[in-house]
Structures are given as C-alpha cells and as structure tokens.
Homo-oligomer: A and B are copies of this chain.
C-alpha cells in the first residue's frame, strides 16, 4: 500500500512491455504491484487517466532540441525523438493516440513542435498545422510498425523486411519541406 504514483507508472510500463495494450488492465496492474485495485484509484481516478499519465511519462524523455540547430532541423529532431520514445515501449503509439483523443494528455511534445514552428516564423495556424502533420505522421506510422512487431512476436507474421525508419525519415522530409515553404511565405519571414 506504500505505492507512489511513480511506482504505478513504472509497473504499468513494465506490464505493457511484457504484454500488449489490450492486456493492460487496472486489475492486472494491481496484481503486479501486490495491492488491491482500489489502491490504484488513489493515484488515478480511472483507467483513461492512468493511460494518459503513462503516455505523457513515456514521452517525457523527449528533451528540448539543441538550440544551435536551425528551426527546421529542430523540427526533424523532435519528430525523430518522438518516434524513438514511442518505440521504446510496446504499443505506446496507440496508447498516446488514445490518450490524445481522451483530452487527458498534457501533449507536451505538440507544444514543443509548435514552439519550434513559431521560431521558424510560421503564424499560429500554420504552426498548428505543421504540428498536426508531424505528430500524426509519426504516431500513424509507428502504430503500424508496433502492430507489425506484435504480429511477429506472436508468430503470426514473418519479419516484414520493411525499413520503417527509412520510410519515416523520407516522409518526415516531405512534411519539413512543407513547413519550410510556409516559413518562406510567412509575413515577416526571416
């Protein structure tokens, strides 16, 4: 019963890495922690809130990009860090998508990307559009990649031979080109 919020998040992450998002239940998590399910609700009022906190925790590893980089390289750096953070925990792209849908996530990485787009001289609407494009490309492709990883882990599919990292880098360059175009046509472009 001496579990902290941190203990619960760590156990949830470990459970996810051993199983899948579909197996992450409050009951199973309580068993792993050796407590009754009620004890979890002390920290998280419901499963949605726990999932949102876990998603935010998984992405908390994404640091501020090196400010000596140009803004567009900072954009690429943030997107690449987002993908790496998602890939570090089983099924977390689907988890993050769901927690963004719930409105319970802090969505800090979206703020970071928007901030870099604003540094690039984009207006607020364009910065938001670039943020949506970068985040959804990254989350969308990583959901597909993590689904494939689970299929291979379960033995229902052979290794695909796909180069997901290469697919991601190439598609991200298209989005960053689009962002650069917006910056070049922005009022007061610098």
Contact = CB atoms under 8 A, between A and B. Distances in A.
Interface of A: 22, 48, 94, 97-98, 100-103, 125-126, 128-130, 132-133, 135-141, 143-145, 147-148, 151, 156-157, 160, 167-168, 170-182
A43 to B, nearest CB: 19
Contacts of A145: 101
B178 A147 contact: no
Q: How many copies does the complex hold?
A: 2
Contacts of A181: 177-178, 180-181
Contact of A171 (B129, B144, B157, B174): B129
Given A103-B157, A103-B160, A125-B170, A175 B133 contact: yes
B160 A129 contact: no
Contacts of A129: 170-171, 173-174
A95 to B, nearest CB: 11
